[in-house]
Amino acid sequence: MLLGIDRLVRRDISPDLLARLSSSTLGMLTNDLALTSDLVRGREPLAASGWDVSVFFGPEHGLSGRAREGEHVGDDADPVTGVPVRSLYGAHVRPTTADLAGLDAVLVDLPDVGARFYTYIWTMSHLLEACADADVAVIVLDRPNPLGGDLGHAEGPMLDEDARSLVGRWAMPIRHGLTIGELARHWVRTRHLDVELEVVEVAGWHRHRTALGRAELTWMPPSPNLPSAATALLYPGTCLAEGVNVSEGRSTAVPFRVIAAPFIDGERYAAAIADAGLPGVVAVPYGFTPLVRDHSGESCEGVILHVTDPDALRPVHTGVRLLSLLEQVHPGALEERTLMPMPGESDWTPLEKLFGVKGAFTQIVDGEWDDADRLAVPEWREQVAEDLLYR
């Protein structure tokens, strides 16, 4: 399998695109976690082979990929190449006119995880709009969706666009099943963005292939709290825990594989999850003391999740049931978190923004989303049919 960045480094792209890029001044939206198949940071061989990249753009976690979630990152210089770096997770979330001045095209090479609320894709959406305004082309160096691309496994709900934040701007399901290149194609088409877009496809990837199995041996965490492909598969569901008063395991060795709090009886909670018969996952009692965020420094009890069948697992349904079952085991203990919105974002709660539905907390704890069929999004397959690049 050759990634988009591999093909560009090898100049295995169309002659027309190769000729154009060879004579272009380029920007690049990327980070240290976007590796080649040879496990080298993608921008290194580009610089070494003479491509004219004059500015890098960094998403959340910065060009290094090391900044904590939500931590604003400033402009800098790339320690590897010396090229200036403009942060798109600090003073602003999209390139300014000055940032794009003199560029012919911007390359995009980012590792996505296949969940709607992962911020990298929305940073790309802002870049597409900015490049449309500046008449700068965008070339996406595509990568596989680590959760696979089987659209029959897509899970909603569809985002209510009133949610409006960097974890969701435009209508799509939580588990979307597209590559970052396919998403770019979908948004350019459906949002009527007047930008020239090219996608350098992955060679040798098919839609039912996930990052589990042998590929996990070379897994590179796309951000600090996604240490394994199994974690990424659970993330579209367990990330919902960030909207309530439990710990999802940040600062531990198993982030997004655990749900715990001081008020949880891990034995009872694990038994309730077992009785619910959630497919593809087993919950085992587990305790830890988080170092950050909810219940920092407090001894917490709860469960750790083990994926037993990635094809059967429905992560969003699992995440919803983990919350509604917790309400059943400990009535009234679960509370919704609130945060001041970022500038330009809606005043919806964190859980509403993540789930994409107004009133999400009450609906979830009342069991209104317990039926997996409620999360089905059959319309999504038809909506993206024109944008698909892989079988």
Residue 283 resides in a domain: yes
Residue 366 resides in a domain: yes
Contact 236, 112 (CB under 8 A): no
Residue 303 resides in a domain: yes
pTM of the model: 0.96
pLDDT the model gives residue 216: 62
Residue 128 resides in a domain: yes
Domain shared by 187 and 44, yes or no: yes
pLDDT tens, position by position, 184-198: 999 999 999 999 999
Residue 391 resides in a domain: no
Distance CA 59, CA 124 (A): 9
pLDDT tens, position by position, 1-52: 999 999 999 999 999 999 999 999 999 999 999 999 999 999 999 988 889 9
Reported confidence tier of residue 214, pLDDT bands at 50, 70, 90: low
DSSP 106-142: EEEE----SBTT-HHHHHHHHHHHHHHHHT-EEEEE-
Domain shared by 108 and 238, yes or no: no
Domain shared by 309 and 365, yes or no: yes
Domain shared by 259 and 305, yes or no: yes
pLDDT greater than 70 at residue 156: yes
CATH of the domain at 123: 3.40.50.12170
20 exposure class (CB count in 10 Å sphere: 0-12, 13-18, 19+)? middle
The percent of residues above 70 in pLDDT, for the chain, comes to 98
Domain shared by 204 and 233, yes or no: no
Domain shared by 293 and 193, yes or no: no
Span 202-220, average pLDDT: 79
| Side-chain-facing half-sphere of 209: CA atoms under 13 Å | 14
* The residue count for the chain: 391
Report the 10 Å Cβ neighbour count for 89.
22
Contact 265, 292 (CB under 8 A): no
Nearest-5° Cα angle at 66, 60 to 68 = 65
Our count of domains for the chain comes to 2
Residue 215 resides in a domain: no
- Among 19-28, 285-294, 312-321, which is the least confidently predicted range? 285-294
Domain shared by 56 and 203, yes or no: yes
Domain that includes residue 121, residue range: 4-144+179-210
- Rounded to 5 degrees, φ, ψ at 50 are 95, 10
Span 367-389, average pLDDT: 98
CATH of the domain at 251: 3.90.1150.140
Domain shared by 232 and 126, yes or no: no
pLDDT tens, position by position, 318-348: 999 999 999 999 999 999 999 877 778 999 9
pLDDT the model gives residue 132: 98
pLDDT the model gives residue 215: 58
